[in-house]
A and B are shown apart, each in its own frame.
Chain A
Amino acid sequence: MAKTAISAHQLVKWFGEGDARTNAVKVASFEANFGEIFYLVGPSGSGKTTLLSMISGILKPDSGRVTIDGSDIWALNNDELADFRLNRIGFVFQDYHLFPRLTTLENVAIPLILKKHDWDEAMQEALKYLDIVGLKNRAQLPPFKLSGGEQQRVAIARAIVSQPDILIFDEPTASLDGDTGKKIMSFIKEEILNENRCVLVVTHDSRIFEYADKIMKMEDGAVTEIENNSDIK
């Protein structure tokens, strides 16, 4: 039986004050296992980014509990939480957020630098991961000289370089054409996912649903259904 990677229990999040107070996430619970790709899908404003932020230790829920591999992440203090994100979670942001003034290689090495690795050692390690995503020959270029798909792969290399067990993708195909998006998801499924890793994807791109193991649908801050891949097909 697959081991539970992420367990979200009764998560609730409100924003704003008084009349402007909005219930962004209304009691969301789910579990995602190691070795699977878990999709959070829903229209804009459905609360999926808020939920993703609460799961990844970025936004504190008003109530509820998040456990990653059995540890309650919101019981950690700020520094512990930062270390937790650095060591256990890899992020691939929608806009990649690569530093244009650093080389591709240096961008990939950032998590290792933050983990206080020696500079040269971090660069060597980062180069291995650039090789994994097929961009070793682009190592010395600045990210803005790469295509959207290549930038996405650089962001993936940065996310996996510290060997996290949870990978979080925020709209990974939003700025890619259909073919590139599928290639990226195929690459994630075949090369990045393993039995010790859980991939969480926030998307509303139905073209890539086929790569999911589970899909959780959200609407108006509430989880409407959780389906297995086989059910979708």
Chain B
Amino acid sequence: MKGILKIAFKLLVNDKGKFAALLMGITFAVFLMVMMTSIFSGVLRSASSVVINIGSKMWVMDPAVTTVANSIPMPDFVQDEVRSIDGVKFAVPLYSGAATLRLSNGIYQSVSILGLDDTSLLGRPELLEGNIADIFAENGFFAVKDSEINKLNNPQIGATFELNEHRGVIVGIAKVTANGLFGMPTLYTTYNRAIQYIPSARFTTSYVLVEPKSLEAVQHIKDEVKKMGYVAVTNEEFRDNISTYYKFKTGLGTNILIMTLISFIVGLSISGQTFYTFILENLDKFGALKAIGAKSRELVIMIVFQAGFTALTGYGLGVGLCTLMIGLAKIRLPNYASVVTFGNLGIAFIMVLIIAVFSSLIGVRKVLKIEPFDVFRG
């Protein structure tokens, strides 16, 4: 069998023009598919950045909340009632909102502000500079060092700004796991300072962060919160809900899906057509092989090997190219929202397998139909 595969390999790669066309088709298709789905994954990850960065095990919110950004403030009793549910270890409020700063140079800049519970500071970021206790200092804010920090003029500790006629001071530089989606710098402060500095409606609690005593308590907490007319979700569920919103309730998911399908169809067409031409050009030779004594299954193995080899090589090149492009893009655009996940690679791999199966099927069908007698007849 090894000898037959070696012949199949040589027949394929020695036809340099066709092999290059096949590889280019599949590489291009894989590149586009992985790129599209990676951008989408990056967008979804960025959309869930607050959930990832805060890292609370459970979140209580208004049932109408679809993304972190459109939080609906809840009255204070929600937090108190949640604290009284059996199985709750502790529950603290989180403020999440946006505001406009006036920087020291007079320029206005929109920012995202997270107000952490004053007592526990649950969800606090890791500090690169400064001391965590300084968040309690007068007018203290932490700036997150991400790709957006330059919009705050790359502030150092001690830098000041104005927020709704309140003075703000940067008392620490923090780092977070995930960057935000909307290109705004992020500031952390205490919950009380946040609701004091930022004009708000009657209710101020964006989310109640809950630490359950055990995994078994999660369902009970959910049920009890539901009775209050609110909803409690785990960290993963909240991220899934955000993903679902972007996938199915905005045009984003549909557009990415269409682009991915187009990439798939392009790859399928190029490789299918080229492989078909390759088979057609060698059809008489396959007929001659049959006449000489090759069995049909041996020819099928040769063709499947050729299609599989091309598909997997193209897949590797496509993924490599995509990774390279994303890497280069991230050098220039640090907040470039694109993440290659195993899921994306899996989707592209399945699509490449479909391309390989389709390409080999049309080839196999043709080769199985050729009769050695046709070779004699010319």
- Taking a contact as CB atoms under 8 Å apart, the answer to whether B3 and A99 are in contact is no
- Taking a contact as CB atoms under 8 Å apart, the answer to whether A97 and B3 are in contact is no
- A residues within 8 A CB of B2? 119
Q: How far is the CA of A204 from the CA of B30 in the complex (A)?
A: 55
CB-CB nearest in chain B for A120: B3
Given A93-B288, A101-B14; A119-B3 close (CB under 8 Å): yes
Q: How far is the CA of A130 from the CA of B294 in the complex (A)?
A: 22
Given A58-B372, A59-B373, A102-B14; A117-B3 close (CB under 8 Å): yes
- Taking a contact as CB atoms under 8 Å apart, the answer to whether A85 and B293 are in contact is yes
CB-CB nearest in chain A for B16: A101
Q: How far is the CA of A85 from the CA of B289 in the complex (A)?
A: 11
- B residues within 8 A CB of A78? 295-296
Given A52-B376, A58-B376; A114-B292 close (CB under 8 Å): yes
Within 8 A of B (CB), among A11-70: 49-50, 52-53, 56, 58-59
Per-position contact with B for A78-95: 1 when CB-CB < 8 Å, else 0? Answer: 110011111101010111
CB-CB nearest in chain A for B290: A82
- A residues within 8 A CB of B289? 110, 114
Per-position contact with A for B243-255: 1 when CB-CB < 8 Å, else 0? Answer: 0000000000000
- Taking a contact as CB atoms under 8 Å apart, the answer to whether A91 and B1 are in contact is no
- Taking a contact as CB atoms under 8 Å apart, the answer to whether A82 and B285 are in contact is no
- Taking a contact as CB atoms under 8 Å apart, the answer to whether A83 and B293 are in contact is yes
CB distance from B370 to the nearest CB of A (A): 12
CB distance from B7 to the nearest CB of A (A): 6
B6 at the interface (CB under 8 A from A): yes
Within 8 A of B (CB), among A142-164: 158
A139 at the interface (CB under 8 A from B): no
- Taking a contact as CB atoms under 8 Å apart, the answer to whether B3 and A91 are in contact is no
B10 at the interface (CB under 8 A from A): yes
Given A52-B376, A58-B376; A111-B292 close (CB under 8 Å): yes
- B residues within 8 A CB of A89? 293
Checking A50, A99, A117 against B11 with a beta-carbon cut-off of 8 angstroms, the contacting residue is A99
Name the residue among A52, A99, A101, A102 with the largest chain B CB count within 10 angstroms: A101
Q: How far is the CA of A102 from the CA of B282 in the complex (A)?
A: 12
CB-CB nearest in chain B for A50: B373
- Taking a contact as CB atoms under 8 Å apart, the answer to whether B293 and A93 are in contact is no
B216 at the interface (CB under 8 A from A): no
Number of A positions contacting B (CB below 8 A): 36
Q: How far is the CA of A117 from the CA of B6 in the complex (A)?
A: 13
- Taking a contact as CB atoms under 8 Å apart, the answer to whether B291 and A91 are in contact is yes
- A residues within 8 A CB of B14? 101-102
CB distance from A167 to the nearest CB of B (A): 12
A113 at the interface (CB under 8 A from B): yes
- Taking a contact as CB atoms under 8 Å apart, the answer to whether A93 and B3 are in contact is no
A116 at the interface (CB under 8 A from B): yes
CB distance from A40 to the nearest CB of B (A): 12
B15 at the interface (CB under 8 A from A): yes
Per-position contact with B for A119-150: 1 when CB-CB < 8 Å, else 0? Answer: 10010000000000000000000000000000
A170 at the interface (CB under 8 A from B): yes
A213 at the interface (CB under 8 A from B): no
- Taking a contact as CB atoms under 8 Å apart, the answer to whether A99 and B285 are in contact is yes
A165 at the interface (CB under 8 A from B): no
Within 8 A of A (CB), among B1-43: 1-4, 6-7, 10-11, 14-15
- Taking a contact as CB atoms under 8 Å apart, the answer to whether A58 and B291 are in contact is yes
Within 8 A of A (CB), among B257-297: 282, 284-285, 287-296
- B residues within 8 A CB of A56? 291
Given A87-B293, A102-B14; A97-B7 close (CB under 8 Å): no
CB-CB nearest in chain B for A117: B3
- Taking a contact as CB atoms under 8 Å apart, the answer to whether B292 and A85 are in contact is yes
Q: How far is the CA of A116 from the CA of B293 in the complex (A)?
A: 12
- Taking a contact as CB atoms under 8 Å apart, the answer to whether B292 and A106 are in contact is no
B298 at the interface (CB under 8 A from A): yes
B375 at the interface (CB under 8 A from A): yes
Checking A52, A83, A106 against B10 with a beta-carbon cut-off of 8 angstroms, the contacting residue is A106
- Taking a contact as CB atoms under 8 Å apart, the answer to whether A116 and B1 are in contact is yes
Q: How far is the CA of A52 from the CA of B375 in the complex (A)?
A: 12
Q: How far is the CA of A86 from the CA of B292 in the complex (A)?
A: 6
Q: How far is the CA of A118 from the CA of B2 in the complex (A)?
A: 8
Checking B3, B282, B290, B373 against A116 with a beta-carbon cut-off of 8 angstroms, the contacting residue is B3
B227 at the interface (CB under 8 A from A): no
CB-CB nearest in chain A for B298: A114
Q: How far is the CA of A116 from the CA of B298 in the complex (A)?
A: 11
- Taking a contact as CB atoms under 8 Å apart, the answer to whether B4 and A114 are in contact is yes
CB-CB nearest in chain B for A98: B285
Beyond A95-B378, A97-B284, A97-B287, 13 additional contacts (C-beta under 8 Å) are: A52-B376, A58-B371, A58-B376, A85-B292, A86-B292, A91-B292, A93-B375, A93-B376, A99-B7, A101-B11, A113-B6, A119-B2, A119-B3
For this complex, 14 residue pairs linking A to B, each with C-beta atoms less than 8 Å apart, are: A52-B376, A58-B371, A58-B373, A59-B373, A79-B295, A82-B295, A85-B291, A86-B294, A93-B288, A97-B287, A102-B11, A111-B293, A113-B3, A114-B293
A contacts, CB < 8 Å to B: 49-50, 52-53, 56, 58-59, 78-79, 82-87, 89, 91, 93-95, 97, 99, 101-102, 106, 110-111, 113-114, 116-119, 122, 158, 170
